């Protein structure tokens, strides 16, 4: 199917917006931007509740400028979110397209991650124009340098780790903290640098338990540190298992903390609010100007439009310069350990 083409049909009059997959702080800011940009262009806006399943079930609400008052600082999503097995089937997507025709929806703005965009691509093949906005705390949308929610999740995790450090230092203990990120290490690496972690484990980088964990803890101890912070991405292994192995190897009984879904909640940071607002605005402008079946992504700080099919074939790699920086931050302790052995 031709992607990112100019819409030759009459100018759109009504658009829908939905949030799908895992929630992320800043989704409400994106919804608000979509609704208010649409209003400024005299377009009607329909809010679809509970993602793609809501589109199948015609679970909707009309949205106006007043509908989105006061949601900018709120976490979560006012439209709710869900995953839909039915939408994965051709029959489900046909029902969703039929809902669009029934409600007079000319195009859909879908806010979410790669799964959301795969759904959007399939819906576009049913003849419904779509635009995607990347929003996930994992920052694992390959076509975009940045996704809505990442900054807030990082700040939440760093705040939790700083609080843990206070009590762990008082008792001279080791902490193992597991952060989210699914199969990507962006969140763990960013948080590890910001929190001054002793070790960061990410799924993209293989590690040697003795060299990369045990010896780093020993080196930090010889350098005078009394507290050791191990940050683990959920895709790199179980924090509980790693904690047990540390105790067996060097006799330190770590305290394990799994931050879990606390990272998804809370008021979005200024960066996430601002990015979400710009993305929502650009998504509606693209549809209004006749561009469709694309994702609003970030590249080197600017917003760009990428055809969905092309975007879903792109690959983003962990920024190894950050991983190397982590090593340098502990280099003094490692050198001391090497010299004394």
- Would you state the structure tokens that stand for residue 108, as one six-digit string? 């859909």
Contacts 24+ apart (CB under 8 A), 265-268: 265/25, 265/75, 265/76, 265/156, 266/25, 266/75, 266/152, 266/156, 267/25, 267/73, 267/74, 267/75, 267/152, 268/25, 268/26, 268/28, 268/29, 268/73, 268/75, 268/148, 268/149, 268/151, 268/152
Question: Which uninterrupted H or E stretch holds 24?
Answer: none
Tell me which residues are annotated as active site.
138
- Mapped onto helix, strand or coil, the DSSP state of residue 216 is helix
Phi/psi at 234 (5° precision): -60, -30
- Judge whether 125 and 1 are in contact, CB under 8 Å: yes
- b/e map of 201-218 (b: 16 or more CB within 10 Å)? bbbbeeeeeeeebbbbbb
Q: Pick from 284, 275, 277: which is nearest to 40 by CA? A: 284
């Amino acid at each position: 199917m031709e992607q990112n083409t100019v819409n030759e049909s009459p100018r759109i009059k009504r658009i829908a917006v939905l949030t799908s997959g895992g929630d992320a702080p800043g989704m409400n800011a994106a919804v608000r931007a979509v609704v208010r940009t649409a209003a400024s262009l005299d377009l009607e806006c329909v809010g679809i509740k509970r993602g793609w399943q809501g589109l199948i079930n015609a679970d909707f609400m009309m949205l106006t400028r007043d509908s989105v008052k006061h949601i900018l600082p709120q976490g979560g999503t006012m439209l709710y979110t869900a995953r839909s097995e039915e939408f994965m089937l051709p029959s489900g997507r046909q029902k969703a397209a039929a809902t669009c025709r029934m409600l007079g929806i000319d195009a859909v703005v879908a806010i979410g991650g790669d799964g959301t965009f795969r759904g959007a691509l399939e819906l576009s093949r049913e003849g419904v124009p779509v635009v995607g906005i990347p929003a996930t705390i994992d920052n694992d949308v390959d076509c975009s340098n940045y996704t809505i929610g990442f900054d807030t999740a990082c700040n939440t995790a760093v705040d939790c780790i700083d609080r843990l450090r206070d009590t762990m230092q008082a008792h001279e203990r080791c902490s193992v903290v597991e952060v989210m990120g699914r199969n990507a290490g962006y969140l763990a690496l960013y948080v590890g640098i910001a929190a001054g972690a002793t070790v960061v484990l990410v799924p993209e980088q293989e590690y040697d338990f003795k060299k990369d964990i045990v010896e780093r803890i020993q080196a930090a101890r010889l350098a005078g540190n009394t507290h050791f912070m191990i940050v683990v991405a959920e895709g790199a292994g179980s924090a509980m298992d790693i904690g047990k192995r540390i105790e067996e190897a060097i006799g330190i009984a770590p305290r394990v903390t799994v931050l879990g879904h606390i990272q998804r909640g809370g008021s979005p940071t200024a960066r996430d609010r601002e990015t979400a607002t710009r993305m929502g605005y650009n998504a509606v402008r693209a549809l209004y100007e006749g561009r469709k079946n694309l994702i609003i992504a970030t590249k080197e700080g600017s917003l760009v439009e990428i055809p969905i099919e092309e975007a879903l074939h792109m690959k983003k790699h962990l920024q190894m310069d950050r991983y190397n920086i982590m090593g340098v931050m502990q280099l003094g302790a490692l050198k001391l350990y090497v010299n004394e052995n």
